[in-house]
A and B are shown apart, each in its own frame.
Chain A
Amino acid sequence: MKKFKEKLSGLAFLVLALSSISVLLLITVFIVVQGASSIGREGLLNFVFGMKWAPSQDIYGIFPMIVGTLSVTLGAAIVGVPIGLCTSIFLAEFAPPFLRNIFRPAIQLLAAIPSVVYGFVGILFVVPFIRNFLGGPGLSILAASIVLGVMILPTVISICEVSLLSLPRQYKEGALALGLTRWQSILHVQLPAAKSGIVAAIILGIGRAVGETMAVIMVVGNATAMPESILDSVRTLTTNIGIEMGYAFGEHQEALFATGIILFVMIMIINGLAQSVVRRKSK
Chain B
Amino acid sequence: MDAKIVIKDFNLYYGKKQAIEGFNLSIPRNEIFSLFGPAGSGITSLLRAMNRLSDLTPDLRVEGDILLDGKSIFAPDLSMTALRRRVGMVFDVPTPLPLSIFENIAYGPRLQSKKSKAALQDIAEQALRAAALWEDVKDRLQAPAMSLSGGQQQRLCIARVLALQPEVILLDRPCSGLDPISTAKIEESLIELKKNLTVVIAPHSTQQAGRIADRVAFMLLGKLIEDGTSEDVFMQPKDQRTNDYITGRFG
Per the bound structure, the CA–CA distance linking A177 and B88 in Å amounts to 6
| B56-96 Cβ-contact flags toward A at 8 Å (1 or 0) | 10100000000000000000000001101100110101010
Per the bound structure, the CA–CA distance linking A198 and B150 in Å amounts to 28
Given contact pairs A173-B53, A173-B56, A174-B157, A179 touches B95 in the complex (Cβ within 8 A): no
Per the bound structure, the CA–CA distance linking A168 and B91 in Å amounts to 13
Chain B contact patch, size range:
20 to 34
A171, B81: Cβ atoms closer than 8 Å: no
Determine, out of A31-39, A124-132, A180-188, the stretch whose residues face the partner at the interface: A180-188
Determine, out of B13-21, B106-114, B124-132, B242-250, the stretch whose residues face the partner at the interface: B106-114
Given contact pairs A173-B56, A174-B157, A188-B107, A181 touches B81 in the complex (Cβ within 8 A): yes
Chain A contact patch, size range:
10 to 19
Q: In the complex, what residue of chain B is closest to A170 when comparing beta carbons?
A: B95
- Is residue B51 within 8 Å, beta carbon to beta carbon, of the partner chain? yes
Q: In the complex, what residue of chain B is closest to A177 when comparing beta carbons?
A: B89
Q: In the complex, what residue of chain A is closest to B90 when comparing beta carbons?
A: A177
Per the bound structure, the CA–CA distance linking A47 and B88 in Å amounts to 65
Query: What residues of chain A lie closer than 8 Å to B157, measured between beta carbons?
Result: 174
- Is residue B215 within 8 Å, beta carbon to beta carbon, of the partner chain? no
- Is residue A192 within 8 Å, beta carbon to beta carbon, of the partner chain? yes
| A189 CB, nearest partner CB in chain B, Å | 5
- Is residue B143 within 8 Å, beta carbon to beta carbon, of the partner chain? no
- Is residue A178 within 8 Å, beta carbon to beta carbon, of the partner chain? yes
| A280 CB, nearest partner CB in chain B, Å | 13
The DSSP consensus for interface residues of chain B is helix
A171, B97: Cβ atoms closer than 8 Å: yes
- Is residue A193 within 8 Å, beta carbon to beta carbon, of the partner chain? yes
Per the bound structure, the CA–CA distance linking A178 and B80 in Å amounts to 11
- Is residue B29 within 8 Å, beta carbon to beta carbon, of the partner chain? no
Query: What residues of chain A lie closer than 8 Å to B180, measured between beta carbons?
Result: none
- Is residue B98 within 8 Å, beta carbon to beta carbon, of the partner chain? yes
- Is residue A273 within 8 Å, beta carbon to beta carbon, of the partner chain? no
- Is residue A175 within 8 Å, beta carbon to beta carbon, of the partner chain? yes
Query: What residues of chain B lie closer than 8 Å to A170, measured between beta carbons?
Result: 91, 93, 95
Query: What residues of chain A lie closer than 8 Å to B112, measured between beta carbons?
Result: 179
- Is residue A83 within 8 Å, beta carbon to beta carbon, of the partner chain? no
Per the bound structure, the CA–CA distance linking A179 and B85 in Å amounts to 5
B97, A175: Cβ atoms closer than 8 Å: yes
A180, B53: Cβ atoms closer than 8 Å: no
- Is residue A176 within 8 Å, beta carbon to beta carbon, of the partner chain? yes
Per the bound structure, the CA–CA distance linking A177 and B85 in Å amounts to 7
Query: What residues of chain A lie closer than 8 Å to B56, measured between beta carbons?
Result: 172-173, 176
Per the bound structure, the CA–CA distance linking A108 and B111 in Å amounts to 38
Q: Which of A155-171 contact B (CB under 8 A)?
A: 168, 170-171
Per the bound structure, the CA–CA distance linking A184 and B91 in Å amounts to 20
B98, A179: Cβ atoms closer than 8 Å: no
Query: What residues of chain B lie closer than 8 Å to A193, measured between beta carbons?
Result: 97-98
Residue among A97, A168, A180, A192 making CB contact with B81, cutoff 8 Å: A180
Given contact pairs A170-B91, A184-B111, A177 touches B97 in the complex (Cβ within 8 A): no
A180, B111: Cβ atoms closer than 8 Å: yes
Given contact pairs A171-B97, A192-B98, A193-B98, A176 touches B84 in the complex (Cβ within 8 A): yes
Per the bound structure, the CA–CA distance linking A170 and B93 in Å amounts to 8
Q: Which of B112-162 contact A (CB under 8 A)?
A: 112, 157, 160-161
Per the bound structure, the CA–CA distance linking A180 and B164 in Å amounts to 11
B84, A177: Cβ atoms closer than 8 Å: yes
Query: What residues of chain B lie closer than 8 Å to A178, measured between beta carbons?
Result: 84-85, 88, 107-108, 160-161, 164
B164, A168: Cβ atoms closer than 8 Å: no
Query: What residues of chain B lie closer than 8 Å to A180, measured between beta carbons?
Result: 81, 108, 111
Q: In the complex, what residue of chain A is closest to B48 when comparing beta carbons?
A: A173
Query: What residues of chain B lie closer than 8 Å to A184, measured between beta carbons?
Result: 111
Residue among A97, A174, A179, A181 making CB contact with B97, cutoff 8 Å: A174
A contact residues vs B (CB 8 Å cutoff)? 97, 168, 170-181, 184, 188-189, 192-193
16 example contacts (A-B, Cβ-Cβ < 8 A) are as follows A174-B91, A174-B97, A177-B89, A177-B161, A178-B84, A178-B107, A178-B108, A178-B164, A179-B164, A180-B108, A180-B111, A181-B81, A184-B111, A189-B97, A192-B99, A193-B97
Sample of 6 further A-B pairs with CB below 8 A, known A177-B84, A189-B98, A193-B98: A178-B88, A178-B107, A179-B85, A179-B111, A184-B111, A189-B97
